[in-house]
A and B are shown apart, each in its own frame.
Chain A
Amino acid sequence: MAKLFAVTIAIIAVLSAIPIVMNYWGPPADISTHGAAIDDQLHETMWEAGVSFLAAQFVLALFVWQFAGRGKSDKLKTFPGGAKGLVIAAFLFVGTEILALGVIGQKAWATVYFAPPDKDAITIQAQAGQFAFYFRYPGPDGKFGTPHPEKIDEGNQNFFGLDPENDVDSRDDIVAGELAVPVNRQVNLLMHSKDVGHSFYVRELRIQQDFVPGLDLAVHFTATKTGQYEIVCTQLCGLGHYNMKAYLQVLSQEDFDKWLKDKAAQ
Chain B
Amino acid sequence: MRTKQMLPVLLTLLVCASIMCPSLMFAGTVSGKVTYTGTPVKPKQVDMTKEPSCAKEHATTPVLNETVVTGPNNALENVVVYVSSGAPDDGQVPSQAVTYTQKGCQYIPHVLPMHVNQELDIVNADQTSHNIHPLPKSNIEWNKSQPPGTPPIKEKYEKPEFISVKCNIHPWMHGWFVVLNTNHYDVSKGAGEFKLPNLPPGKYTITAWHEDYGTQTADVTITGNETKDVNFTFKAKAY
Contact = CB atoms under 8 A, between A and B. Distances in A.
Pair from one complex: yes
Interface of A: 129-133, 154-157, 159, 164-165, 175-178, 239-240, 243, 245-247, 266
A159 B166 CA distance: 14
Given A132-B50, A165-B238, A266-B45, A154 B172 contact: yes
A266 B47 CA distance: 10
A178 B212 CA distance: 28
B169 A131 contact: yes
A130 to B, nearest CB: 7
Contact of B145 (A131, A178, A239): A239
Contacts of B239: 164-165
Q: Which 6 A/B pairs are nearest by Cβ-Cβ distance? A: A155-B174, A177-B47, A266-B45, A165-B239, A240-B169, A154-B171
Contact of B171 (A129, A176, A239): A129
A130 B239 CA distance: 26
Nearest to B107: A155
Nearest to B52: A247
Given A155-B164, A155-B166, A239-B168, A176 B174 contact: no
Contacts, number: 64
B175 to A, nearest CB: 8
B62 to A, nearest CB: 7
Contact of A131 (B62, B67, B171, B212): B171
Given A156-B67, A165-B238, A132 B44 contact: no
A262 to B, nearest CB: 9
Nearest to A159: B171
A97 B63 CA distance: 57
B168 A245 contact: no
A233 B166 CA distance: 21
A82 B236 CA distance: 89
Interface in B101-135: 128-129, 131
B47 A176 contact: yes
B170 interface: yes
B46 interface: yes
A160 to B, nearest CB: 12
A157 B46 contact: yes
Contacts of A132: 50, 170-171
B196 interface: no
Nearest to A135: B47
A131 B167 CA distance: 10
Contacts of B67: 155-156
Contacts of B3: none
A117 B103 CA distance: 43
Given A246-B49, A266-B45, A240 B131 contact: yes
Interface of B: 44-51, 62, 65, 67, 128-129, 131, 145, 164, 166, 168-175, 212, 238-239
5 contacts: A157-B172, A177-B49, A240-B131, A243-B51, A245-B50
Given A130-B168, A266-B45, A155 B129 contact: no
A130 B169 CA distance: 7
Nearest to A170: B239
Contacts of A129: 171
A245 B170 CA distance: 11
Contact of A243 (B46, B47, B128): B128
A96 B179 CA distance: 71
Contacts of B238: 165
B174 A240 contact: no
Given A156-B174, A164-B239, 14 more contacts: A130-B168, A132-B170, A154-B171, A155-B175, A157-B44, A157-B65, A176-B47, A176-B49, A177-B49, A178-B50, A239-B131, A239-B145, A239-B169, A245-B50
B174 A154 contact: yes
B207 to A, nearest CB: 22
Contacts of B48: 177
A246 B174 contact: no
Contacts of B168: 130-131, 239-240
A157 B43 CA distance: 9
Q: Which of B45, B129, B169, B238 has the most CB of A within 10 A?
A: B169
Interface-centre pick from A154, A164, A175, A176 (highest chain B CB count, 10 A): A154
Contacts of A157: 44, 46, 65, 172
A243 B62 contact: no
B72 to A, nearest CB: 22
A129 B50 CA distance: 13
B169 A243 contact: yes
A154 to B, nearest CB: 4
